[in-house]
Amino acid sequence: DSGVTQTPKHLITATGQRVTLRCSPRSGDLSVYWYQQSLDQGLQFLIQYYNGEERAKGNILERFSAQQFPDLHSELNLSSLELGDSALYFCASSVAGTSGPNEQFFGPGTRLTVL
């Protein structure tokens, strides 16, 4: 158990809908990262937050948005869902994010299925 929690574990929804994925980082970690892993694909970096502020952005679609709250938990919002958005979404957290790279601890993931 990495200490990173994600909810829900599974999510099944229809095209055009909007969903919210939630992540709680390890205690003390200030950075949260979101990744998308499609079937048999690698990990695609979406976005990173550090202590409430956006710090790095990957190939995140405009239909997707995220935020990190004062208690450091983060939410990833996916809207106008398409079939191709079906994937495993991982959240990861790390200690800091200002002085150099640190190990990222991954959560168990949320499996999103868009029908």
Partner 1 sequence: GENVEQHPSTLSVQEGDSAVIKCTYSDSASNYFPWYKQELGKRPQLIIDIRSNVGEKKDQRIAVTLNKTAKHFSLHITETQPEDSAVYFCAATPFYNFNKFYFGSGTKLNVKP
Nearer to partner 1, 9 or 71 (CB): 9
CB of 43 to partner 1, least distance (A): 4
Which among 40, 34, 26, 29 is positioned nearest to 54, based on CA atoms?
34
- CA distances 50 to 26, 70, 72, Å, are 13, 11, 9
| Of 43, 60, 61, 95, the one binding partner 1 by CB under 8 A | 43
Give yes or no for residue 44 binding partner 1 (CB under 8 A): yes
The H helix count followed by the E strand count for the chain is 0, 11
34 belongs to the binding site for partner 1 (CB under 8 A): no
Residue 64 binding partner 1, by CB under 8 A: no
Q: Which of 16, 28, 58, 84 binds partner 1 (CB under 8 A)?
A: 58
Nearest approach in angstroms of CB 16 to partner 1 is 29
How many CA atoms lie within 13 Å of 72's alpha carbon, on the beta-carbon side?
19
Q: Is 107 near partner 1 (CB under 8 A)?
A: yes
- Integer angstrom CA distances of residue 108 from 6, 53, 68: 7, 24, 19
